Chain A
Amino acid sequence: QVRLVESGGGLVKSGGSLRLSCAVSGFSLIDYYFSWIRQAPGKGLEWVAYISTNAAYTDYADSVRGRYTISRDNSKNLLYLQMNDLRADDTAVYFCARDRLYFAGLDVWGQGTTVTVSS
């Protein structure tokens, strides 16, 4: 069964750091691009970052560039999002998603993990 499971969310103070993980099962991480997407309370979906199959290419939303780092460990089937210098407006549910690019877009999503940044 194809599945993504996020973990690592929690409550952190403004200026702090968190690392989110996304565990992949049912398929091999190495074959796909991945994205992180977030959703602030009561708001819409915001794409955060992507990473290519071999991590050669990454990109970020302007709102997180320079503070967040996306990475992957293909040997462990794990995707990561390192979040530094967190701010109150980073509070959101964070989803990881498989990105099949032009073939089918974001076709598999995790259930999300909640990050709360207190000021």
Chain B
Amino acid sequence: DIHMTQSPSSLSASVGDRVTITCRASQAISVYLAWFQQRPGKAPRPLIYGASSLHSGVPSRFSGGGSGTEFTLTISRLQPEDFATYYCQQYNNYPRTFGQGTRLEI
């Protein structure tokens, strides 16, 4: 199984800040990497697929990059609604595996 590791596990920031979350895969997954946002009590919301493509309706302040084993999610100009937990997930093969999550706090 491919193991996904996110860093940091938690992050404190302020409205208007720029933050970056890193995700590392235990083996190469090309660009088959997705990012999800989850607010408390809600289902995960797909943000990015293919490492850098935004799903419909996702604000342009979200961006993703990377390939192979190293990936990033960057949120520029943080908004109040962005404070949530973020997960990366590989879909290069089964079993699909998720990172442990990064909690973004005010």
Contacts and interface: CB of A to CB of B under 8 A. Distances in A.
Given A44-B101, A45-B87, A105 B95 contact: no
Interface stretch (A7-15, A67-75, A82-90, A108-116): A108-116
A102 B95 contact: no
B46 A107 contact: yes
Given A45-B89, A101-B91, A106 B98 contact: no
A31 interface: no
Interface residues of A, number: 22
Nearest to A46: B98
Interface in B69-98: 87, 89, 91, 94-98
Given A44-B100, A45-B44, A95-B44, A106 B94 contact: no
B32 A102 contact: yes
A50 interface: yes
Contact of A105 (B43, B49, B101): B49
Contacts, number: 60
B55 interface: yes
B50 interface: yes
A11 B46 CA distance: 29
B98 A105 contact: no
Interface of A: 35, 37, 44-47, 50, 59, 61, 95, 99, 101-102, 104-112
22 contacts: A44-B87, A44-B98, A44-B100, A45-B89, A45-B98, A45-B101, A47-B89, A47-B97, A50-B96, A59-B95, A95-B44, A99-B91, A102-B91, A104-B46, A104-B49, A104-B55, A105-B32, A107-B46, A109-B43, A109-B45, A111-B43, A112-B43
